Amino acid sequence: MSSSAQSATKCTPDDDLVLVHASQGGDVAAFEELVRRYDRKLLRIAQHLMDNLEDAEEAVQEAFLKGYRKLNQFQGNAEFSTWLIRIVLGECITKLRKGRKAKASSLDQTAQVEGHDLPRDLADWAPNPEQLYGASELRKILIGSLRELGPGLRMVFVLREVEGFSTNQTAEILRLNDAAVKSRLFRARLQLREKLSRYFRKPDGEPATQQ
């Protein structure tokens, strides 16, 4: 289990509901406690989706504001944390689309819209210490490659491989079925493997093989 998944177990859904009900009754301090519980987790997710920290922080702030305004719409059909993650993902997607539109405009409409541990299956692609890239450089390359994925694939990969949610949890957050989550995760892994392979090749130009 990832560190994020372990930390999430400290706050139970029942504990959240007590605070949610208090917040719905006008207890601002109760909502502030909910913010303290989840602000770091939401920021971590947003950072993996957005292109920079400033946009990620803004997305999280807007998500909490929207969550507070719409708190009476929360019916408890899903866990409160799931509800919050959906909101921040929506804010991230909105910002990504706006960013792409702005970039497309600046390029005369030529563009087309399409701190965590590395995922285990990708960490295996890291070169040896004697090779060109160190662990920190690999992490930068991985983050850059992840941001080249389409938002749909990126969200599935971040939730499953980075945040450690199960397939079922990921499906619930994204309102998908398990088969769709598995399909998108498979496509995300393939695309990341292709993008990363260009960085780690043997001197003869052939892709480096795992030992």
| CATH number (domain holding residue 40) | 1.10.1740.10
Pick from 5, 115, 16: nearest CA to 67: 16
Same domain for 74 and 28, yes or no, is: yes
Residue 171: both structure tokens together:
């499906």
Q: How far is CA 197 from CA 125, 146, 160, 188, in A?
A: 8, 13, 22, 14
CB atoms within 10 A of CB 18: 12
**Residue 9's pLDDT is what?**
40
Residue 130: both structure tokens together:
């004697």
Name the domain boundary from 48, 75, 106: 106
Provide CB contacts within 8 A for 190, sequence distance 6+: none
Name the domain boundary from 73, 106, 139: 106
Domain that holds residue 24: 3-106
Instruction: State how far the Cα of 59 lies from the Cα of 164, in Å rounded to an integer.
Output: 21
pLDDT in tens, the chain (211 residues): 444 444 444 567 788 999 999 999 999 999 999 999 999 999 999 998 998 899 999 999 999 999 999 999 998 888 999 999 999 999 999 998 887 655 444 333 333 333 344 444 444 444 444 444 555 677 777 788 888 888 899 999 999 998 999 999 999 999 999 999 999 999 999 998 888 787 766 555 554 544 4
57 HSE (CA, 13 A, CB side): 3
Q: For position 178, which CATH number holds?
A: 1.10.10.10
Are 151 and 96 in contact by the 8 Å Cβ rule? The answer is: yes
Domain count, the chain: 2
Q: Is residue 156 part of a domain?
A: yes
**Residue 196's pLDDT is what?**
79
Q: Is residue 111 part of a domain?
A: no
Q: Is residue 60 part of a domain?
A: yes
Same domain for 95 and 183, yes or no, is: no
Q: Is residue 96 part of a domain?
A: yes
**Residue 203's pLDDT is what?**
52
**Residue 202's pLDDT is what?**
53
**Residue 116's pLDDT is what?**
41
Name the domain boundary from 53, 72, 106: 106
